[in-house]
Amino acid sequence: MGKISPEILLTFIHLDRKLKTPLYIQLYDAMKQGVFDGMLKHGDRMPSTRSLAAEFSISRNCVLLAFEQLTLEGFLNGKTGNGTYVSEQVNELKLDNRKSKKDLSPEEKVLKPIEMTDLPSHTKYVVNYVGQEAMLPFQPSTPSLVDFPFQIWARIAANVYRNIHQLHLGYDSAQGYLPLREALTDYLRMNRSISCTADQIVLVNGSSQAMQLIAELLLKKEDQCWMEDPGFLRAKSAFARFGAQICPVPIKDSGMDLDYAMQHFPAAKLAYVTPSHQYPLGETMPLMVRIKLLKWAAQKDMWVIEDDYESEFRYLNRPIPALKGLDTFGKVIYVGTFNKTLFPALRIGYMVLPSAAIAQQFTIAKAVIDRQSPVIDQAILTEFILGGHYTRHLRRMRLVYRKAQEELILLLKEHLGNQLRIAAAEAGMHLVAWLMSDQDATAIALKARASGVFIYAVDELAIDFKHPKALIIGFTGFSIQLMEAAVLMLKSILEEE
């Protein structure tokens, strides 16, 4: 039997439960920093996951998650029957070349860490949503990657690279890859009842970039913007960044309360809505309310931004036609994305503008920001759509996600039926659950995330109109075993409060 090295003490690691950062990420960051600082060196034997969990008074799952990520990145490796060790790879980091604090130049010594209070005001909406997002229960909008047809995607990608010489490999149009825009016109006509041309479409790096472009081109300082409240934080951030006045509008059963908005903010220049599936409460805007909004926008010369997120996943009926399809006044800008339906790392979204001339203005603005989006990814996606794989994938995911929601609801009712009132989602990738006690949803959500259960409180997305008992729980992308373990963790948290 080989000699077993002694375990290293990790007394340099401190975890803070007051932080919003989950405990397993704090542990991962601290151990990784320990490598950079020279506290952990090649050959050091790590304590067992059980002893570390006991030492830091955290769950063993937190330690396992941190170890797993460090192993994937090459910082740790396991030896069967002999523990987990710091890997040889850390020697390649050339720690001696890193500057110590005493080696900082006078200019560097003057620099101070950025404090939260020093950040621009518009960042308050997204400051907690800029890091790597977990893909753990119950993170909303997490696609089921085990069900994604990666073999088909890889085959298409290989073919694109095999014939890469046929692509224009210089700077392409900032408006986006033309064959993809043409494919989108057919998809939108057949699935969202939107009639448009490729010249009206601008490809972007997700809906967040679309909101930034909209704010830059359409808003002036102090312009009023109707915003669903609660609603999408990145849209609020984008509009506030350019000096617009955010006007929170409450949500009714019919979606945005138009009467409230018209009465309180009649001079608004823009309205941001999620009419097919309100984010996050899930309400659908009826036809007559949609017509009312379009008529008001035409009369007041107001832009309407339709964010059609997750509308593809509707479980009770066929997908509802887009608001854009009803727009005869040319006031609706439609925003869609593939990042939720395929996978977030893809970073491909699109905008449908009222005319080719307006699309050209947005194209110029995008060119100033990043010149163009990667053409190869767009070419792969184009072939994926044209081959019928995208629509087949959506059909399959509707069935998978509907079943996942049913399984989650059964688990919640079995373990938390006397503590949560569950509102099943008609569409999308999350449901809303309401606390039946006097507990505060935000406090529960923060404590849950610190334990590795990624739920959110609806109030974390609200400005004025609060729902202190409402929790957002994602149900896509997780096995039933993972969901049950997370439900039991949530149960223990609720019982502790």
Per-residue pLDDT tens digits for 231-260: 998 899 899 988 999 999 999 999 999 999
CATH of the domain at 53: 1.10.10.10
pLDDT at 68: 81
Residue 11 has pLDDT above 90, yes or no: no
Q: Are residues 274 and 323 in the same domain?
A: yes
pLDDT (average), residues 41-51: 86
Q: Are residues 275 and 356 in the same domain?
A: yes
Q: Is 0.85 surpassed by the pTM of this model?
A: no
Residue 36 has pLDDT above 50, yes or no: yes
- Whose tokens are 């797993």? That residue is 68
Residue 361 domain-assigned?
Answer: yes
> How far is 313 from 369, CA to CA, in rounded Å?
32
For the chain, what is the mean pLDDT? 87
Residue 416 domain-assigned?
Answer: yes
Q: Are residues 434 and 291 in the same domain?
A: no
> How far is 457 from 441, CA to CA, in rounded Å?
5
Residue 31 domain-assigned?
Answer: yes
Q: Quick one: how many helices (H) and strands (E) in the chain?
A: 15, 15
Per residue in 248-306, pLDDT (tens digit) is 999 999 999 999 999 999 999 999 999 999 999 999 999 999 999 999 999 999 999 99
Looking at 107, 135, 163, the residue that finishes a domain is: 107
Q: Are residues 452 and 479 in the same domain?
A: yes
- Whose tokens are 């010149």? That residue is 371
Q: How many CB atoms lie within 10 A of CB 99?
A: 9
Q: Are residues 263 and 182 in the same domain?
A: yes
> How far is 489 from 396, CA to CA, in rounded Å?
30
H or E element at residue 432: strand 430-435
99 falls in which pLDDT band (50, 70, 90)? very low
| Helix 480-496 / helix 389-416 crossing angle, nearest 10 deg | 40
Q: Are residues 130 and 192 in the same domain?
A: no
Q: Are residues 28 and 133 in the same domain?
A: no
Looking at 335, 370, 390, the residue that finishes a domain is: 390
Q: Are residues 100 and 249 in the same domain?
A: no
The answer to whether 324 and 192 are in contact (CB under 8 A) is: yes
Residue 447 domain-assigned?
Answer: yes
134 falls in which pLDDT band (50, 70, 90)? low
User: Among 14-28, 71-85, 351-365, whose mean pLDDT is lowest?
Assistant: 71-85
pLDDT at 317: 73
Q: Are residues 333 and 188 in the same domain?
A: yes
Residue 11 domain-assigned?
Answer: no
pLDDT at 97: 40
Q: Are residues 396 and 458 in the same domain?
A: yes
Residue 149 has pLDDT above 90, yes or no: yes
Per residue in 324-342, pLDDT (tens digit) is 999 999 999 999 999 889 9
> How far is 452 from 433, CA to CA, in rounded Å?
18
Q: Are residues 360 and 233 in the same domain?
A: yes
Residue 94 has pLDDT above 50, yes or no: no
Q: How many CB atoms lie within 10 A of CB 108?
A: 10
CATH of the domain at 429: 3.90.1150.10
Residue 59 has pLDDT above 80, yes or no: yes
Would you call 333 helix, strand, or coil by DSSP?
Answer: strand
The answer to whether 34 and 12 are in contact (CB under 8 A) is: yes
Residue 400 domain-assigned?
Answer: yes
Per residue in 441-459, pLDDT (tens digit) is 999 999 999 888 999 999 9
Residue 186 domain boundaries: 150-390
Residue 7 domain-assigned?
Answer: no
Number of domains in the chain: 3
Tokens of 339: 């990042």
Burial class (CB in 10 A: 0-12, 13-18, 19+), 466: middle
Residue 129 domain-assigned?
Answer: yes
Q: Are residues 260 and 377 in the same domain?
A: yes
pLDDT at 229: 96
